[in-house]
Every structure is written in structure tokens, then in C-alpha cells.
């Protein structure tokens, strides 16, 4: 699901895709231009028929065609060539297929090849790289088509608003959303995005929470089944220590989005905040089963157990909380920016060298 | 009568003259202050002012504080010793702590200072002991007393570890810590090696909070020494949102704290592992000892930076059980870790159980926990009105105290501001931006009165016996007043 109270997820991905797609398109264009100057090679199919070469040789020849920009011929032949047992060759064939399919705007062929590659070579860096570029390119083409064919649709405005959000142009994005609401006041999701914008915008002012709350409530009038809106309202209420209200919103969120674990954590925390520790246990148990790596769930559950006299379970959860927190701490250290190590001559930081 | 004997007699007389209500004078619990350098001068000013306030408690009307630092003769200026952008060590200190070291009935002040660790030849920086002249002025007696420090200083505590009636001084440093024995004649002797309390056993270099407390109730003060991060093995700077600055705690591995048992013969033994409190990855900022569960045995509160806070419950057999999580104080009510630079304990609602206050970073409000008397704490920051006023400031020292002697514990919080990440300079100049002095309210009503206040600010009073507030950076609060 998108969003979950942040703006980063969909828009960030979208913008990255656009950026990658541009690179990819450039790559394709350059490849095509370069190919024009190259000497055309004989079709591998023709070559295969003529000489009876094995699939591996035929694939190599197809790859050569692709490398020289003869994507149309290469793609035709690659589609019909028997699979080769050579894994490396198969990988190269798949990558070439994706590149050529994108170049020729054969979206179906591209997605088929992407699926095949990811199935055959999961976690392969080259596959993941080409997949990113391909999806980015497909995304860009779809967005361009949207802008070209339905520029006044709310979807086009929404897409534009998301892009503006990503660029940090919060006010412009808000105007786009407001434009949508003026023209399409019953479109679901827009009030939610407005609320999210208020909560994400830097220096949004002290009334940002209240504005967001109103937008979320408006969203729920349009779409009472918006679990995300209920969740955010729960978070706002919890931040304001309005525990009963938080419990109500989180409860609805868990019902509307039973596969969204954070709603269960929010519900449990709201109960803990309200001092209703016995009620907190069930949602927190649900949460820790689904998100065992998050120390927050174990912590809240440990508190709830402790407050209800279930000390052994409390100690167990406390131990799990510490273990999970330590793991996260280690991960933080691993990804921390190394910055500048102490420079030469500054070893005097070691205090024993400077004792008076 | 010998000189020492004479001073002991004077101490006894002073106890009779200035009896802290319901407390024994001999300090069994002492505190380390650990505050921003910008607070030190203000601390003195406020200290002087509060002394006046206490002298005028019969007066009715609003209480005003006056900055009397210069008039009092306090000239100490902290030297943080940075070479370019300060690193973590250089934005930490300094501590300041108070005690009547010469038994004349007046509180004296000890300041901790940084050092030049970059071989630039800057040798002037040293710690400072200011003797209270009893007339509102102080005299720098550091050289005579021999307590200049031996390294880059971070915190300090007073405690009479040998029960001779005169408080001794322990200074936490970057590197080897130092224990000064009070010779009862206005001078001190470095007994660190003899006592065995340098704090280097587990490799910890970056020492932070510390506290004297008699955890085994054998009548002798034991010593707990905190450690922050392994600065020497990590990055010097980090790039945060494009700004080169000091690093967050997660950039470093943690370090171990140490519990020293007082052997009664002038030596201590590291009993950290035997006491079951060895935690090699702690990132301690503040510590405090107090009997939160009223079983008569002091427990230990350890606040970390970006990690769980620890609560070591005294098992009455020389060991502790870490119950921070199940007691509900390891994280905030919102489930977050804290940058806990201050711990303060005080019974703000006078229900007979010590409550807990911990300061936190900017954008994270400070935290007040109510002791439920059943071994758990409930965070009541929102209900008590703590959350909103402390959200947009970076809180350092602070804690409970009854500033107007009305019998109700108030809160003092010393803050500064941290600019938005990504700006050209992430840290503003180290000056005090705001002082938050507020009365705790609950539903608009004042909370119930505290048990005691003192006339002499004996912050080294035996908390485990009196149930009066104080712990690590509550001392910072005290000295800030």
C-alpha cells in the first residue's frame, strides 16, 4: 500500500523512475545512432538456417545485432531462438531483449523478459539494474501518455502534484490538489494526500496537525473505507495524547486494513497510553507476530504484560526488545556515514598521550 | 586538637547549625553534573541568586533571580578544545558540582574543563575549585587544593568515600578518570591508582555520568562510572543532510560502564560483571541512584543516547536486575529512545514514591514518569504539560526542585536550540536560548507538596534514606540555580 503517512514512497519511486528512464532512453537512442554507422550483420536466423549453427551461436549473433542497434532483427530472432543452456548467455539474451523491447516500445515483450530474468536470475545485480531502468522507462512513457491524452484529468493533476511534492514545491503541489478538488470534489484520495502534505511539509506551522485532521475527516466522508486515513487520524490523536480517540481510529484502521501491522501497533500503544493495558495485549501480540524485528512492539507488549502481572511474558518480550534494538543499532553503525577518520597527527585524541 | 580533628568538629557543628531536614549530613549519595558549557556561568549566577532566595523565604511575592557571577568572583570559562568543527567530546562537557569541601558550612564549587588534545601548546585550560568565602564571593583555590584535573574533563561528583567527614572528588574525563582524596586541610591528593578507579578496565575512554552510592549498604560509598561511545574507533565527523558535523551516537559503538565496590581500605574493586550490570554497548549520558521501589536499597538509573534507558533494580545481594523495559521507563510512551542528558528523581506528587524526569533532544519532548508504587512508571508528560513546551528545544541539564519553597517540586530545564539539519551551520552558538521554569500542574491543580527542602543545598544528601530528589544531572539543575 502506498503512503502510510509518508510522502516518500510513491513519489520518490516515481521520480527515480523518471530519472532512470531518461537515462535508459538516452542509452537506447545512443545505441541506435551508433548502430547506424556499424556494418549490418547477417540475420542469425538466416545464418542459422544456412549453416545449422547451434542456439548458443545464434544467440551470440543476435546479441551482436542488438549491440549494433539492429534491435528489430535481434528481437525477432531472440523471441524464436531456443533457450540456451549457457546461463551467462541466457542472461545476456534476456538483458538484450529488455533493452531492445524498450527501444522499440514493445512493452509486453519488455515486461515478459523482465519477469523471466527475475525468475531465472533473482538478486542478480545486472538483472536488478536493467529491471529498474526498464520499469522507470515504462513509467515515464505512461506518465507522458497520461499528460498527452488526458491533460485535464484529475489523474494528470494528481501525478503532477506528486511530482511537485517530490521536488519540495509544497505550495504548488497543494494548489494542484486543490484544483482537483474544485473540479472533482468527490475523488477519493485527494484529501488524504493533502493531509499527508501538511504533515510532511517542513515548517508547516503549528496548525498543520489540525489542518491534516480536517482533510482526513473530509477524506473519510468521501471514502469511509480509507484505512490509511483512519490510521493517520489515530496517529494524530496519539501524538496529542487523546487516547480514546486514538483507540477509535486505530480500531477502525485494523478492521479496514487487517494486513497493515502498524495499525495494530498504534492501537496497542494507544491502549497503553490510556492505561488500558489488558486491552493492549491482543493488538500488540498481533503486531509482534507480524513484525518481530521491530523493538517497539516488544517494548509495548512487555509494558502491557508487566502492568497486567504477566511478568514472565513481560521479561520474555523485554529480552526480545533488547535483541531487536541491538540488531538495529548494529545496522545503523554499518550504514553510518564514515565521514572523516581522525587525520594523521591527530592521534592525540587518545588521551593517554596527553596526560598532564 | 589536630587540624583534621578540629575540622571534623566544625563539620559536626555545621551539621547542627544547618541540619538538612530529615537527612543525614554525611553524603552517601553524590551526583555528577554533565551539562553544556554554556550553562556553567549561568549556573553560578543562578546559584548565587537562589541562595538569596533561600535567605528570603519569608518574603511574599514573585521570586526573581539575579546574575551575580562577576560579583561573586567567578571567572571560570570553559575551554572545549575543538580544532575546527567540534567533535562529540567537545560538545559534551563540562560538569560542575558542589560540596562543602572544607567543612565551613558553605557550599564550594568545582568546575570541569576541557584540554588541548591536538598538540597546539594550549596549556592554560584546567579545572577550577572555587572556595565559598561565606560573604557572597568565591576564591579560586585550584592550585592550592591540587585539583586541576589530569585530562580532558567531562563530569564530577563529590562523595566521602572514606567516611572521614570530608567530601572527596571524582572527575570523569576522556581517558583516565581521577579520584582526589580530601586531605582535610584544604588540599587533595590524587589517589586514583591506589583506589583503582581510573575507569579504563573495559576499554572505555569517553566517560560521562557517575554517581557515588552505597549499593550494598555496608556504610561505604561505592562508585558507578558511565561511558559514552567509542569515539576513538569511529568517524571524526559525519555528513548529515549535506552538513559536516559531529556524529550521532549510532555512528559509534557503545562502551561499558563500571561499578566499583568500596573495599573500605581506600581501594575499590570492579564488580560490574559480578553485579550483573555489565553492558558493553551502553551509551551513557546521565546516571542516578535512588530507591524507587522503597525497599530500602538503592537502585540505579542509567540513561543512554539513542538506546534503551536502564533501570537496575537492586536485588539486595550485590547484584542488580535490569528492569527498564518492564518498568516502562526504557523508552518514551511513544516508543522512542531518548537522548537522555539528564535524569532527575523526585516525588513530585508526594505519594511517597520517587518519580522520574528525563530530558531529551530537540523535536523530542522531555519526559516525566509517575511511579505507580508497584514497580512501574507511567509517562505522564502530556498530562503534566511537559510535552508541548519542551518539544522545540534541546534540553540539557534540569530536574526537580522547589524553587519557591512552597513545598511543591517544580521543574527547571536548561535548553538550547538546534537548527534544522541541512542548514549551513547545524549547531547554533552555544548560548542559552531559553530557560523553562514551570510548575507542574495536573488538571489545573498544583501537585501535592514534597517532603523537604534544604537551606544549604546539600545535594549530596543520602537520597536512599530521605527520598528527596537528586541524581546525576539533577545536580546540573541544582548547580544551575
pLDDT tens digits, B233-243: 888 898 887 88
Supply B48's cell numbers. Answer: 548565587
Report whether B357 contacts B368 (CB < 8 A): yes
Report whether A249 contacts A237 (CB < 8 A): yes
Query: What is residue A247's predicted lDDT score, i.e. its pLDDT?
Result: 97
Contact residues on chain A for B365, CB-CB shorter than 8 A: none
Query: What is residue A53's predicted lDDT score, i.e. its pLDDT?
Result: 63
CA atoms within 13 A on the CB side of B348: 29
Query: b/e for B105-119, b at 16 or more Cβ within 10 A?
Result: bbbbbbbbbbbbbbe
Q: Which residue has the cell 551502553?
A: B282
Residue B12: band (very low, low, confident or very high) from pLDDT cuts 50, 70, 90: very low
Mean pLDDT of chain B: 78
Query: What is residue A253's predicted lDDT score, i.e. its pLDDT?
Result: 97
Q: Which residue has the cell 511537559?
A: B386
> CA triplet B351, B355, B359: central angle to 5 degrees?
155
Sheet hosting strand B343-346, strand order edge to edge: B343-346, B355-358, B367-371, B377-379
Q: Which of A269, A336, A339 sits opposite B236 (nearest CB)?
A: A339
Residues 6+ apart with CB under 8 A from A134: A24, A98, A102, A110, A111, A114
Which position has the higher pLDDT, B159 or B240?
A: B159
Mean pLDDT, residues B22-50 taken together: 39
Query: What is residue B466's predicted lDDT score, i.e. its pLDDT?
Result: 21
Minimum distance, in Å, between the CA of residue A341 and any CA atom of chain B: 5
Contact residues on chain B for A343, CB-CB shorter than 8 A: 236
- How do residues B346-389 score in pLDDT, each as one tens digit? 999 999 999 999 988 877 888 999 999 999 999 988 888 888 88
B94: left (phi over 0), alpha (psi -120 to 50) or beta: beta
Query: What is residue B13's predicted lDDT score, i.e. its pLDDT?
Result: 52
pLDDT in 10s for each residue of chain A, 356 residues: 333 333 333 333 444 444 444 444 444 443 433 333 343 444 544 444 445 567 777 778 788 888 888 888 888 777 776 666 778 888 888 888 898 888 888 899 899 999 999 999 999 999 999 999 999 999 889 889 998 999 989 999 989 998 898 888 899 999 999 999 999 999 999 999 999 999 888 777 888 899 999 999 999 999 999 999 999 999 999 888 899 999 999 999 999 999 999 999 999 999 998 999 999 999 999 999 999 999 999 999 999 999 999 999 999 999 999 999 888 888 877 775 454 444 333 443 443 333 32
CA B112 to chain centre: 12
Contact residues on chain B for A322, CB-CB shorter than 8 A: 308, 325
- The overall longest dimension of chain A from CA atoms, in Å, is 89
CA-to-CA separations, A148 to A46, A141, A151, A177, B373, in angstroms, rounded: 41, 10, 6, 20, 68
Query: What is residue B432's predicted lDDT score, i.e. its pLDDT?
Result: 24
Contact residues on chain B for A271, CB-CB shorter than 8 A: none
Residues 6+ apart with CB under 8 A from A3: A9, A10, A192, A193, A196, A228
Q: Looking at A118-127, A174-183, B261-270, B467-476, which range is the least confident one? A: B467-476
Contact residues on chain A for B337, CB-CB shorter than 8 A: 325
Contact call for B117 and A273, based on CB within 8 A: no
Question: Is some CB atom of chain B closer than 8 A to the CB atom of A306?
Answer: yes
Query: What is residue B202's predicted lDDT score, i.e. its pLDDT?
Result: 96
- How do residues A57-95 score in pLDDT, each as one tens digit? 777 878 888 888 888 888 877 777 666 677 888 888 888
Contact call for B326 and A305, based on CB within 8 A: yes
Give the SS3 label for residue A268. Answer: helix
Nearest CA in chain B to A329: B250
CB count within 10 Å of CB A277 equals 22
Contact call for A314 and B326, based on CB within 8 A: yes
Contact call for A337 and B240, based on CB within 8 A: yes
Query: What is residue A69's predicted lDDT score, i.e. its pLDDT?
Result: 80
Estimate the crossing angle of helix A261-274 against helix A227-239, to 10 degrees: 30
pTM: 0.71
Query: What is residue B355's predicted lDDT score, i.e. its pLDDT?
Result: 96
Contact call for B334 and A317, based on CB within 8 A: no
Query: What is residue A200's predicted lDDT score, i.e. its pLDDT?
Result: 86
Q: Which of B428, B379, B340 is nearest to A274 (CA)?
A: B379
> Has residue B324 got a pLDDT over 60?
yes
Return d(Cα B481, Cα B468) in angstroms, integer.
Answer: 17
Pairing of strands B377-379, B441-442: unpaired
Residues 6+ apart with CB under 8 A from A2: A9, A10
- How do residues A226-268 score in pLDDT, each as one tens digit? 999 999 999 999 888 899 999 999 999 999 999 999 999 999 9
This model of the complex carries an ipTM of 0.70
Contact residues on chain A for B333, CB-CB shorter than 8 A: 269, 272-273
Q: Looking at A81-90, B44-53, B332-341, which range is the least confident one? A: B44-53
- How do residues B87-132 score in pLDDT, each as one tens digit? 888 888 788 899 999 999 999 999 999 999 888 888 889 999 999 9
Query: What is residue B381's predicted lDDT score, i.e. its pLDDT?
Result: 87
Q: Which of A275, A339, A356 sits opposite B238 (nearest CB)?
A: A339
Query: What is residue B312's predicted lDDT score, i.e. its pLDDT?
Result: 98
Residues 6+ apart with CB under 8 A from B408: B348, B402, B439, B440, B446, B447, B448, B449, B450
List beta partners, residue B358. B343, B367
List beta partners, residue B343. B358
> CA triplet A233, A237, A240: central angle to 5 degrees?
145
Q: Which of B85, B156, B83 is nearest to B121 (CA)?
A: B83
Question: Is some CB atom of chain B closer than 8 A to the CB atom of A322?
Answer: yes
Query: What is residue B425's predicted lDDT score, i.e. its pLDDT?
Result: 27
Mean pLDDT, residues B296-307 taken together: 94
Q: Which of A306, A339, A355 sits opposite B237 (nearest CB)?
A: A339
Which position has the higher pLDDT, B454 or B313?
A: B313
Which position has the higher pLDDT, B214 or B90?
A: B214
- Residue spans per domain, chain B: 336-480
Amino acid at each position: 500500500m502506498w503512503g502510510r503517512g509518508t510522502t516518500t514512497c510513491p513519489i520518490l519511486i516515481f521520480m527515480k523512475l523518471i530519472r532512470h528512464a531518461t537515462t535508459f532512453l538516452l542509452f537506447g537512442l545512443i545505441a541506435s545512432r551508433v548502430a547506424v554507422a556499424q556494418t549490418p550483420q547477417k540475420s542469425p536466423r538466416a545464418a542459422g538456417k544456412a549453416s545449422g549453427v547451434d542456439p548458443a551461436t545464434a544467440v551470440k549473433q543476435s546479441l551482436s545485432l542488438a549491440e549494433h542497434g539492429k534491435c528489430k532483427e535481434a528481437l525477432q530472432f531472440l523471441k524464436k531462438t531456443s533457450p540456451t543452456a549457457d546461463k551467462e548467455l541466457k542472461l545476456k539474451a534476456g538483458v538484450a531483449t529488455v533493452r531492445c523491447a524498450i527501444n522499440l516500445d514493445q512493452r509486453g515483450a519488455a515486461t515478459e523478459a523482465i519477469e523471466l530474468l527475475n525468475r531465472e536470475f533473482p538478486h542478480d545485480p545486472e538483472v536488478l539494474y536493467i529491471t529498474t531502468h526498464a520499469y522507470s522507462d515504462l513509467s515515464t512513457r505512461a506518465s507522458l501518455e497520461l499528460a498527452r491524452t488526458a491533460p485535464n484529468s484529475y489523474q494528470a493533476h494528481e501525478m503532477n502534484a506528486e511530482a511537485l511534492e517530490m521536488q519540495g514545491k509544497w505550495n504548488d503541489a497543494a494548489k494542484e490538489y486543490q484544483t482537483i478538488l474544485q473540479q472533482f470534489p468527490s475523488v477519493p484520495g485527494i484529501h488524504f494526500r493533502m493531509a499527508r502534505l501538511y504533515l510532511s511539509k517542513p515548517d508547516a506551522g503549528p496548525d498543520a496537525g489540525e489542518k491534516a485532521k480536517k482533510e482526513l475527516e473530509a477524506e473519510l466522508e468521501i471514502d469511509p473505507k480509507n484505512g490509511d486515513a483512519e490510521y493517520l487520524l489515530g496517529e494524530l490523536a496519539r501524538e496529542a495524547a487523546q487516547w480514546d480517540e486514538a483507540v477509535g481510529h486505530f480500531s477502525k484502521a485494523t478492521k479496514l486494513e487487517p494486513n497493515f501491522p502498524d495499525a495494530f501497533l498504534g492501537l496497542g500503544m494507544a491502549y497503553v497510553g490510556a492505561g488500558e493495558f489488558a486491552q493492549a495485549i491482543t493488538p500488540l501480540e498481533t503486531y509482534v507476530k507480524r513484525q518481530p524485528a521491530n523493538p517497539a512492539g516488544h517494548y509495548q507488549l512487555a509494558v502491557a504484560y508487566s502492568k497486567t502481572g504477566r511478568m514472565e511474558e513481560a521479561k520474555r518480550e523485554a529480552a526480545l526488545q533488547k535483541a531487536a534494538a541491538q540488531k538495529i543499532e548494529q545496522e545503523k553503525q554499518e550504514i553510518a556515514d564514515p565521514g572523516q577518520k581522525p587525520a594523521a597527527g591527530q592521534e592525540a585524541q587518545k588521551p593517554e598521550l596527553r596526560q598532564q | 586538637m589536630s587540624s583534621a580533628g578540629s575540622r571534623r568538629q566544625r563539620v559536626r557543628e555545621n551539621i547542627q547549625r544547618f541540619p538538612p531536614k530529615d537527612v543525614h549530613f554525611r553524603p552517601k549519595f553524590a551526583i555528577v553534573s554533565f551539562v553544556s558549557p554554556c550553562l556553567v556561568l549561568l549556573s553560578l549566577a543562578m546559584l548565587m541568586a537562589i541562595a538569596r532566595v533561600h535567605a528570603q523565604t519569608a518574603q511574599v511575592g514573585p521570586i526573581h533571580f539575579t546574575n551575580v557571577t562577576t560579583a561573586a568572583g567567578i571567572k571560570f570559562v570553559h575551554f572545549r578544545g575543538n580544532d575546527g568543527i567540534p567533535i562529540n567530546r567537545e560538545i559534551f562537557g563540562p560538569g560542575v558540582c558542589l560540596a562543602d569541601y572544607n567543612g565551613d558550612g558553605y557550599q564550594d564549587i568545582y568546575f570541569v574543563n576541557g584540554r588541548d588534545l591536538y598538540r597546539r601548546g594550549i596549556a592554560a585550560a584546567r579545572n577550577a575549585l572555587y572556595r565559598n568565602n561565606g560573604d557572597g564571593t568565591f576564591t579560586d583555590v585550584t592550585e592550592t587544593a591540587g585539583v586541576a584535573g589530569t585530562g580532558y574533563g567531562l563530569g564530577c561528583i563529590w562523595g566521602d568515600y572514606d567516611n572521614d567527614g570530608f567530601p572527596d572528588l571524582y572527575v570523569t574525563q576522556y581517558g583516565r578518570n581521577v579520584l582526589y582524596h580530601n586531605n582535610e586541610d584544604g588540599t587533595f591528593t590524587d589517589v586514583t591508582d591506589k583506589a583503582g578507579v581510573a575507569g579504563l578496565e573495559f576499554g572505555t575512554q569517553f566517560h560521562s555520568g557517575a554517581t557515588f552510592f552505597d549499593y550494598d549498604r555496608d556504610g561505604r560509598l561505592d562508585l558507578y562510572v558511565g561511558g559514552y561511545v567509542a569515539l576513538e574507533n569511529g568517524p571524526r565527523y559525519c555528513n548529515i543532510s549535506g552538513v559536516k558535523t559531529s556524529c550521532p551516537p549510532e555512528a559509534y559503538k557503545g562502551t561499558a560502564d563500571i561499578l566499583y565496590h568500596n573495599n573500605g581500605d581506600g581501594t575499590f574493586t570492579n564488580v560490574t560483571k559480578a553485579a550483573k550490570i555489565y553492558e558493553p554497548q551502553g551509551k551513557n549520558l546521565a546516571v542516578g541512584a535512588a530507591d524507587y521501589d522503597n525497599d530500602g536499597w538503592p537502585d540505579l538509573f542509567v540513561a543512554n543516547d539513542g538506546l534503551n534507558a536502564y533501570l537496575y533494580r537492586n536485588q539486595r545481594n550485590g547484584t542488580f536486575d535490569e528492569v527498564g523495559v518492564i518498568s516502562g521507563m526504557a523508552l518514551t510512551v511513544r516508543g522512542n529512545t531518548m537522548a537522555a542528558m539528564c535524569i532527575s528523581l523526585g516525588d513530585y506528587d508526594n505519594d511517597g514514591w520517587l518519580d522520574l524526569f528525563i530530558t531529551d533532544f530537540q523535536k523530542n519532548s522531555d519526559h516525566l514518569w509517575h511511579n505507580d508504587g508497584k514497580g512501574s512508571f507511567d509517562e505522564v508528560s502530556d498530562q503534566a504539560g511537559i510535552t508541548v513546551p519542551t518539544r522545540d528545544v534541546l534540553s540539557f541539564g534540569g530536574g526537580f526542585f522547589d524553587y519557591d519553597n512552597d513545598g511543591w517540586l517544580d521543574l527547571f530545564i536548561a535548553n538550547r536550540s538546534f537548527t534544522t539539519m541541512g542548514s549551513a551551520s547545524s549547531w547554533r552558538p552555544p548560548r542559552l536560548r531559553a530557560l523553562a521554569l514551570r510548575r507542574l500542574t495536573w488538571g489545573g491543580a498544583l501537585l501535592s507538596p514534597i517532603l523537604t527542602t534544604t537551606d544549604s543545598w546539600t545535594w549530596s544528601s543520602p537520597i536512599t534514606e530521605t527520598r528527596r530528589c537528586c541524581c546525576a544531572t539533577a545536580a546540573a539543575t541544582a548547580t544551575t540555580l
